[in-house]
Structure 1
Amino acid sequence: MAATKGSLSINSENIFPIIKKWLYSDHDIFFRELISNGCDAITKLKKLSLIGEYEFKDDEESELKVQVIANAKDKTLTFIDNGIGMTAEEIDEYINQIAFSGAEAFLEQYKDKTNEDQIIGHFGLGFYSAFMVADRVTIESLSYKEGSKAVKWECENGLEFSMDDCDKTDRGTKITLYLNDDSLEFANEFKAREIIHKYCSFMPVEIFLSNPNAEPEYDTIPESEVTDKDTVIETIVEEAKTEEKENEDGTKEVVEVSPATTKAKILKRPKSISNPVPLWTKHPNECTEEEYRQFYHEVFMDYKEPLFWIHLNMDYPFNLKGILYFPKINTEFESVEGVIKLYNNQVFIADNIKEVIPEFLMVLKGVIDCPDLPLNVSRSALQNDGFVKKISDYITKKVADKLSGMCKTDKENYEKYWDDISPFIKYGCLKDEKFCEKMSDYVLFKNIDDKFLTFKECLEKNKEAHENTIFYTTDPVQQSQYINMYRNENIDVVILKDAIDQPFITQLEQKNENVKFVRIDAELTNTFKEEVNEDELKEMTDKLTEAFKKALNRDTLDVKVEKMKDSSISSMITLSEESRRMQDMMKMYGMAGMDPSMFGGAGETLVLNSNNNLVKYIIDNPEGENTDLICKQLYDLAMISHTPLNPESMTAFIERSNKILEIITK
């Protein structure tokens, strides 16, 4: 062909700020775009073979690959594929006219003979990401078409190009980037490996990375395993190994332990740094538990075992595959945020795209591959499309189906996992109405006897004495005195210690009329009390209120006197459920120091048991020598069972305890 020169023409319908800084937010993404183009070229060749328009020779098909050469010395990056190649006319059409997609043209031409599977490119702009990091780019290509001539294309700064014949003899395309001074890091082999691992680990074609300046590495293998493609450095003959053996008759003889072998020292064979057939592309029936676990460890670098997983495999009405793992999370030390990697035809797009992954599932770890996603030009974000909502709904449904199915058919494991998965499920119920409807019968509550109950079973447990009421504890250790009271009366108590439990039970109350959740320190029900004369009760209340106000030096103190069945309990603190929830809400919004009564809530109430000997002592000896001491101690004992003491109160409590012991031992 005659040498030509010209200016790049930009399709007027696709004018984008594409070159240099503006095409992509992450400059390293050019690796993904150029390797994707190479994968597409190979995939197209395979499809042409399937429909009889190209015939592979010998084992040619097994050698299809993309090569990346990182040459820090020459400040270049080279991307080589042995795919379909391009003619001069095709380069002029696909490269010189920006935003003309070769993938779309190929699909249009063969739409009646093949399908879109594994064709990655859709926009025709990926190649130009090279100019974000390179001042000069060259393309050398030879088409698969019979009689084609090799062509070389060269461009400086993405503006002026030149194109001419070249001497390339092997089919495919070679793209060389001459990096600018700000982008030399990308020619570092280790940096290149890191980026390829990020974006291209699972592309549908094997990818090889090499560094021409690195010291050669060698392998030693049996001579019989040497192939025509191996470069033999030297032959190594290992003599037979022998040892002396003593016979039964006492004679000795030398026997051969291993025969003589001939080995070859060869240049280390190239090893693919990608996995073209990731686990999610397989049918679930083809995957073993060990493979699922291994894939999890490799992709997410998590040393812990996942609890279980969901394999997504859908062909209609859209194509979606993936694996979602429920990780074991130590919420005390770790963030509960997971990672869900989004792929398009095995090409990494982004982590945790909220339009596709329901917010409550972002605590999971997993991969989702959906070729039908409507991506924008940089493939890194989604265009607004109702289709995306359908995908999100499908993922939510599959998770709900898995969890409900497990609860029905594998209850033992479901209960074993519950402490780990309950925050996911409760968050999902709060955020997604459909998910909530599907999971409402499969939400479990663990009681103080470590038994798991459904919501309906919790209500049934206390139905006789406390209809429509579920009692709960947020801290079984701190609130142990209250727990013992409820246990002695055979009243069931469930444990709700996660932060998400409070909004979750509020939602349950809203959805179930008349049902209420009450913390065990919120009130003292008649179950725990004995009848007492009202006048007698008022007299005791007046005496005790005055005594405690004096001892604690407080003008206001809400004191309530009850005659409790359990005489061993001297004092306790109650705080109404409404007031406590109000206080929790104020803490959440940074209003912890404000008085809850401003919002209609009451403060804590000191409940004193008139059936207890210490309380009786105060009633009978309001001015006694040790009355103040006992009042202060009973108040702190009540507080300790309700909430941790502040440092000053704890110090005073310890000093007072020592003093009481001294009095006892005198």
Structure 2
Amino acid sequence: MSKQGNLSIHSENIFPIIKKWLYSDHDIFVREIISNACDAILKFRKLCDMGETTDETQTPFEVTVTVNEKESTITVSDNGIGMTEEEVEKYITQIAFSGAEDFLNKYQDKMDKEQIIGHFGLGFYSSFMVADTVEIDTLSYTGAPSVHWSCDGGTTYELSEGKRTTRGTDIILHVTEESKEFLNFYTLSSTIEKYCNFMPVPIYVVDANKETTTSAEGEENTVEAPKPINDPIPLYTKKPSECTDEEYKTFYSKTFMDYNEPLFWIHLDMDYPFNLKGILYFPKLHNEYEMVEGKIKLYNNQVFVADNIKEVIPEFLLLLKGIVDCPDIPLNVSRSFLQNDGFVKKISDYITKKVADKLISLYKKELDHYKSCWDSISPFIKYGCLREEKFSTKMKDYILYKTIDDEYITLNDYLEKVKDTNENKVFYVSDKEKQSQYVTMFKENNLSAIYLTHPIDSSFISHMEMQNKDVKFMRIDADISSALKEENTAIDTAKEEKLNTLFTSILNNDKLKVKLETLKSQTVPSMLLISEESRRMQEMMKLYGMDTNGMPPSEATLVLNENHPLITALSTKDLDEHTKELACKHLYDLALIANQSLSADAMQAFLQRNNELLMALLNK
């Protein structure tokens, strides 16, 4: 037996659901109510443009939000299209019936759908999230009598003759005790700025309880003309050719409260196959270790939707600051919808392409500026290469590396520069201070190495090796370039074996390899080389929270410089056992310090040994 029927909604249950579940953030009522007010104005203005009616008052279009803390009310007023009694019953009393959608359907051949904000019909009822009673006073442009509507959140409403005498609508919210925070003028103003900063109609906020002050002479103080809280024509809605550099900088500082000038920006302006506008800014880092917390604000028709939605904005660009406005993305939508929406992926791909195109253009046309920005923009670019394969493919030939001689070159330039010495090895410095002796040796011998000191670089190195199979990145202390060694010199293997036995015995470390080399430099007696693979393994252990400080490095090689007087003396002079022990331990610790911090016990022993050596020198 089968049976069909109609689904029914019990009205006594709808308001508790609206209050608790319609929106996750209760302050969203500001966006919804003011959006409706802006829509009312845009509708009327469009009717005037189409010749359907005329604006006899010629008063400026605006939305006014009045907060009255004493009366516990917030009133949103507009001078838009207004409503007749029939329209109030149709659009207000029928929940989820959209007046905006109805208007668009009626005039679909005469206007662009992106000109109207609302489409869902639920926005008005968000007011019951903060109010126990809501009133509407409205007067239609048609000349029909004004209408007053009120509802206390129950199942009934009252409809009567209204008091409004000018075209437009007042929405009066009687705010509950639980939501009285919104009755604070500054709280309400900041909330309006958050959601309505770029709405296309001027919005004014008025404090009804603010008294006029008077001077000592009894004269009223001069009050400046009020200014709208929003920017109805934000810079990103204009064509790039209409914007000056100064306007871009001003818009950035005002929007993001960042008074450091951005390095550069990308103006997004696309009409097909989707409508998308915006500006992305590359902020300036204060130092190379700083990780900037970016903010990409997503808008729909100049109405704020959310911050940093990585389903729409490529994740690596969330480090930037900017505005993206796309009318095709709903105001209220689940992230699971965005994750599975092919259209959203196209938007993300477009933004990625525009960023890559801008960077490549800077490299080709403004190379000096590109180089001057590199230290700040490199974390964004490297993170993008790690996260987005297409971005990495486009950018791989335009990634710069800063050399120890403070030049900025590409990987291909570096490989060409060292092709006669390093066999596709890329030597890099991860810590300028700890590896300073190696840097000095490289500079003394006109060798090249690059700085890779940012936290992201350890992952980026592996990525670049995957892209360039024949290239090997090696930290400057992982191997000795043949160019650092004296030419045509043979190592005395017997001497090397003797030193190896001496050090491994005194250090009690039979895993340590000791190697004798004749280096060109006479300033460095000992160096500790740790294989790149071993060191990367230790870094991975640190990443997972394992303590490696003071841990003896595996696959470590202690290089002793035969060209240094200390090593010569150690291998030729007849020294007592205690002096040999002091010298070996000290040479090892000096080499180790250039690679990592000593453990607490090792540092204590090192300091005591220093004191003993100084005393021996003074008593000599």
Classify the secondary structure of the residue corresponding to 2:149.
strand
Select the residue among 70, 78, 95 that pairs with 2:92.
Answer: 95
Give, as a single letter, the amino acid of the residue that structure 1 aligns with 2:238: K
Q: Cα gap change, 1:81/1:178 in structure 2, threshold over 3 Å: closer, same or farther?
A: same
String of CA shifts for 1:596-633, please: whole Å, max 9, x gaps. Answer: 99xxx943221112332212222233645522221122
Structure 1 residue 595: Cα displacement: 12
Q: Please give the alpha-carbon distance, in whole angstroms, between the structure 1 residues aligned to 2:29 and 2:347.
A: 28
Classify the secondary structure of the residue corresponding to 2:113.
coil
1:635 aligns to what? 588
User: Are the aligned partners of 2:297 and 2:322 in contact in 1 as well (CA < 8 Å)?
Assistant: yes
Q: Please give the alpha-carbon distance, in whole angstroms, between the structure 2 residues aligned to 1:462 and 1:360.
A: 32
1:34 aligns to what? 33
* Alignment partner of 1:502 is 2:458: yes
Q: Please give the alpha-carbon distance, in whole angstroms, between the structure 2 residues aligned to 1:31 and 1:380.
A: 25
Structure 1 residue 323: Cα displacement: 0.9
Q: Please give the alpha-carbon distance, in whole angstroms, between the structure 1 residues aligned to 2:436 and 2:236.
A: 48
Structure 1 residue 396: Cα displacement: 0.7
Select the residue among 617, 620, 623 that pairs with 2:569.
Answer: 617
1:20 aligns to what? 19
Structure 1 residue 594: Cα displacement: 11
Classify the secondary structure of the residue corresponding to 1:517.
strand
* Alignment partner of 1:474 is 2:430: yes
Select the residue among 379, 383, 401 that pairs with 1:445.
Answer: 401
Classify the secondary structure of the residue corresponding to 1:117.
helix
Q: Please give the alpha-carbon distance, in whole angstroms, between the structure 2 residues aligned to 1:485 and 1:312.
A: 48
Q: Please give the alpha-carbon distance, in whole angstroms, between the structure 2 residues aligned to 1:380 and 1:202.
A: 27
Q: Please give the alpha-carbon distance, in whole angstroms, between the structure 2 residues aligned to 1:339 and 1:631.
A: 54
Q: Please give the alpha-carbon distance, in whole angstroms, between the structure 1 residues aligned to 2:424 and 2:334.
A: 55
1:337 aligns to what? 293
User: Are the aligned partners of 2:91 and 2:98 in contact in 1 as well (CA < 8 Å)?
Assistant: yes
Alignment of 1:364-513 (within 5 A): 364-376=320-332, 382=338, 384-513=340-469
Q: Please give the alpha-carbon distance, in whole angstroms, between the structure 1 residues aligned to 2:441 and 2:588.
A: 19
Q: Cα gap change, 1:217/1:45 in structure 2, threshold over 3 Å: closer, same or farther?
A: farther
Percent identity of paired positions between Structure 1 and Structure 2: 54
Select the residue among 656, 659, 664 that pairs with 2:609.
Answer: 656
User: Are the aligned partners of 1:308 and 1:325 in contact in 2 as well (CA < 8 Å)?
Assistant: yes
Structure 1 residue 470: Cα displacement: 1.2
Q: Cα gap change, 1:377/1:401 in structure 2, threshold over 3 Å: closer, same or farther?
A: closer
String of CA shifts for 1:205-237, please: whole Å, max 9, x gaps. Answer: 111111222112589xxxxxxxxxxxxx97xxx
User: Are the aligned partners of 1:339 and 1:362 in contact in 2 as well (CA < 8 Å)?
Assistant: yes
Segments of 5+ residues of structure 2 without an aligned counterpart are 1-7
Structure 1 residue 434: Cα displacement: 1.1
Q: Please give the alpha-carbon distance, in whole angstroms, between the structure 1 residues aligned to 2:550 and 2:224.
A: 74
Structure 1 residue 191: Cα displacement: 1.4
Q: Please give the alpha-carbon distance, in whole angstroms, between the structure 2 residues aligned to 1:509 and 1:628.
A: 42
2:519 aligns to what? 564
Q: Please give the alpha-carbon distance, in whole angstroms, between the structure 2 residues aligned to 1:352 and 1:363.
A: 9
1:115 aligns to what? 112
Alignment of 1:144-183 (within 5 A): 144-145=141-142, 147-183=143-179
Q: Please give the alpha-carbon distance, in whole angstroms, between the structure 2 residues aligned to 1:487 and 1:532.
A: 22
Structure 1 residue 576: Cα displacement: 0.7
Structure 1 residue 334: Cα displacement: 5.0
Classify the secondary structure of the residue corresponding to 2:297.
strand
* Alignment partner of 1:607 is 2:607: no
Q: Please give the alpha-carbon distance, in whole angstroms, between the structure 2 residues aligned to 1:467 and 1:379.
A: 49
Structure 1 residue 21: Cα displacement: 0.9
Q: Please give the alpha-carbon distance, in whole angstroms, between the structure 1 residues aligned to 2:152 and 2:198.
A: 32
1:138 aligns to what? 135
Select the residue among 282, 305, 321 that pairs with 2:277.
Answer: 321
User: Are the aligned partners of 1:11 and 1:99 in contact in 2 as well (CA < 8 Å)?
Assistant: no
* Alignment partner of 1:190 is 2:186: yes
Alignment of 1:537-616 (within 5 A): 537=493, 539-554=494-509, 556-593=511-548, 602-616=554-568
Q: Cα gap change, 1:67/1:619 in structure 2, threshold over 3 Å: closer, same or farther?
A: same
Give, as a single letter, the amino acid of the residue that structure 1 aligns with 2:158: S
Give, as a single letter, the amino acid of the residue that structure 1 aligns with 2:535: R
Structure 1 residue 498: Cα displacement: 1.0
What TM-score does the superposition give when structure 2 sets the normalisation length?
0.92
Q: Please give the alpha-carbon distance, in whole angstroms, between the structure 2 residues aligned to 1:293 and 1:614.
A: 59
More divergent stretch after superposition (272-281 vs 327-336)? 327-336
Segments of 5+ residues of structure 1 without an aligned counterpart are 1-8, 220-232, 235-263
User: Are the aligned partners of 2:506 and 2:581 in contact in 1 as well (CA < 8 Å)?
Assistant: yes
What TM-score does the superposition give when structure 1 sets the normalisation length?
0.86
Select the residue among 205, 208, 212 that pairs with 2:201.
Answer: 205
* Alignment partner of 1:298 is 2:250: no
Classify the secondary structure of the residue corresponding to 2:432.
coil
Structure 1 residue 269: Cα displacement: 3.1
Q: Cα gap change, 1:333/1:170 in structure 2, threshold over 3 Å: closer, same or farther?
A: farther
Alignment of 1:239-258 (within 5 A): none
String of CA shifts for 1:19-40, please: whole Å, max 9, x gaps. Answer: 1111111101101100000000
Q: Cα gap change, 1:176/1:191 in structure 2, threshold over 3 Å: closer, same or farther?
A: same
Structure 1 residue 644: Cα displacement: 3.1
2:102 aligns to what? 105
Q: Cα gap change, 1:266/1:624 in structure 2, threshold over 3 Å: closer, same or farther?
A: closer
Bigger strand fraction: 1
Give, as a single letter, the amino acid of the residue that structure 2 aligns with 1:38: A
User: Are the aligned partners of 1:70 and 1:187 in contact in 2 as well (CA < 8 Å)?
Assistant: yes
More divergent stretch after superposition (112-121 vs 401-410)? 112-121
Give, as a single letter, the amino acid of the residue that structure 2 aligns with 1:189: F
String of CA shifts for 1:281-304, please: whole Å, max 9, x gaps. Answer: 111222222221111111111122
Structure 1 residue 179: Cα displacement: 1.4
Q: Please give the alpha-carbon distance, in whole angstroms, between the structure 2 residues aligned to 1:331 and 1:151.
A: 61
Classify the secondary structure of the residue corresponding to 1:303.
coil
More divergent stretch after superposition (160-169 vs 73-82)? 160-169
Q: Cα gap change, 1:654/1:266 in structure 2, threshold over 3 Å: closer, same or farther?
A: closer
The number of residues matched between the two structures is 606
Structure 1 residue 389: Cα displacement: 0.9
Structure 1 residue 550: Cα displacement: 4.2
Q: Please give the alpha-carbon distance, in whole angstroms, between the structure 2 residues aligned to 1:282 and 1:380.
A: 32
Give, as a single letter, the amino acid of the residue that structure 1 aligns with 2:520: K
Structure 1 residue 479: Cα displacement: 1.1
Give, as a single letter, the amino acid of the residue that structure 1 aligns with 2:582: L
